[in-house]
Structure 1
Amino acid sequence: MTINHYLTTFAGLPVLGAQEQSPADPAAVTWRLEMEDFEADPEEFVAEFERLLERTGPAGPTALIIGEWGSAYERAFPVDLLVGNAARLGGLRALFIGEMSSEQCEISWIQQGDITPLLEAFPALEHLWVRGAEELALTPMRHTGLRELVLQSGGLPATVVRAVGACDLPNLTHLELWLGVDQYGGDARGDDLAPILAGRSLPALTHLGLRNAEIADEVAAAVAAAPVVARLTGLDLSLGVLGDAGAESLLTGQPLTHLKTLDLSHHFMSPEIAQRLVDELPGVAVDVSDKQSEERWGRFTAVAE
């Protein structure tokens, strides 16, 4: 996916544009909340939030995407606003915080904060997406409702990666981490992924994305021997700098023939080894599209700043 185009569906529901008429059933769509003025005051965002609650009824939205909340490049998303209104958001099952294009705010400038209170306040939340990792924090916890967790970043801190691995998420089926680059805070290494790759706290996991990684070859080597892989149907190492060394790890590691999908798009593999992956996994939908060249700029992730 590209971060410069808004989602048209989220959590299986069509996204309602800001100017579209309210549907007969407020729970049948994903609502989008966004400030047109990127320097809007916090009070203006609160007022827009109140208007959203009025439109969505006593249970609030089922699915909610939040874009620009006002000066997102310097002011963290107001988690307390949602937590303080948890009783009015009883129907909330899906939440995406920070869906902004690079024209609105570069991904590595988006200020976040501690998302633990959100998970504590919404035990029935099933889908949580967060874009931006500046000051992002998570305390290890148990959450039985969560089915999907997506953290998109130009650089995901190792502290957050380790916290995800230390969480007890018994019903999580989809985990996607954009690891990013060290220049923008992505300081995680293979060892930080070990608890996730062991899979003990993620017994239901069927799709794992370790995307946009500057350490893609190191990630591939760790994945090649990871216990969690045996139960996956989808593995996504796309958007990063995967090269021949990482591909060799995948080819010589544990069998991957049980996968339905293996996404390696945006890569630096040679044509020969990319074709080997396709040929040696004939029953798997292997995506080796979007080959990049390192001749001019070296290797680079698809999303950084």
Structure 2
Amino acid sequence: MVKIGNIDLPDFPLLLAPMEDVSDPPFRAVCKANGADLMYTEFISSEGLIRDAAKSVQKLDIFEYERPIGIQLFGSDVETMGACAEIATRANPDLIDINYGCPVKNVACRGAGAALLQDIPKMVRMTEAVVKATHLPVTVKTRLGWDESTKNILEVAERLQDIGIQALTVHGRTRVQMYKGEADWTLIGRIKENPRIRIPIFGNGDIDSPEKALEYKNRYGVDGVMIGRATIGYPWIFNEIKHFLKTGEHLPAPTVADRVAVCRQHLDFSIRWKGEITGIFEMRRHYANYFKGLDNFKAYRMQLVQAGTYTELLRILEEVSEQYAEAELA
């Protein structure tokens, strides 16, 4: 069993990465149903939360079926992050997570996210402010460093543990790398080998198959893995990894009927959460991912993104299920 503060997780838990414009409650719902052990909200701007900005406040929405669930915060001001942690705590998550890993320009160039990797003393002060502002476990997600010459994650892990974080997730790239190239987990493994480190260490980056999850588990000794891009349109990956770790065998790939069923569940949650108009609109970004790899799917994808009513979408999805089921049987 892996423990984060008072949260009990299974051995080698699988975490859903917080992804902007992806990891909203509807997406988290289908990932939870398909085996995710710990999930996080999309990252929330501390400045937006302090200003009571509608988009930031809405990201605080969490539901009982999601637990354990963490609210992830990012910001550039130490005092604001502390105040923001108090607000997030009132939303009653299971933990608070701090984002020191987001590499995108409009976050990092404002001194937030991965930018803090250039100022470790400030990162420590900010983390301490958040730890003091909440009774909940505080965790951190970060990267190896800002660039090749500043891979300071070994120092960061010790210093953040010393001021009270309860778990650390490390993405195996620098900020400069963004999402390019192959993630390097070598330093993540070295954190786990450090006898001073007592908290759970989770690895993140390029986990896209059961085989890779098992290989990295064995090679680097991490307590669990966080999965991001490989879950988009494919929430089945969580249960596929669990089954493979347990049995050494693969679960059958989802059929087109399975894809349609989970896509419809996602759509239903989206409409329940944001209403029919917004729920349908925000679902449009997901169809290509759910049906990736299907031959001649472009015409159906265009119909799905152009459909304006729930009834019309159900009709199209039913037609997809029937058309491709015939092809699977052929």
User: TM-score higher than 0.5 here?
Assistant: no
User: Which fold has the larger relative contact order, with Cα–Cα distance below 8 Å and residues 6 or more apart in sequence?
Assistant: 2
Task: Please give the range of the TM-score, normalised by the shorter of the 2 chains.
Answer: 0.3 to 0.5
TM-score (norm 1): 0.37
TM-score by length of 2: 0.35
Is the helix fraction higher in 1 or 2?
2
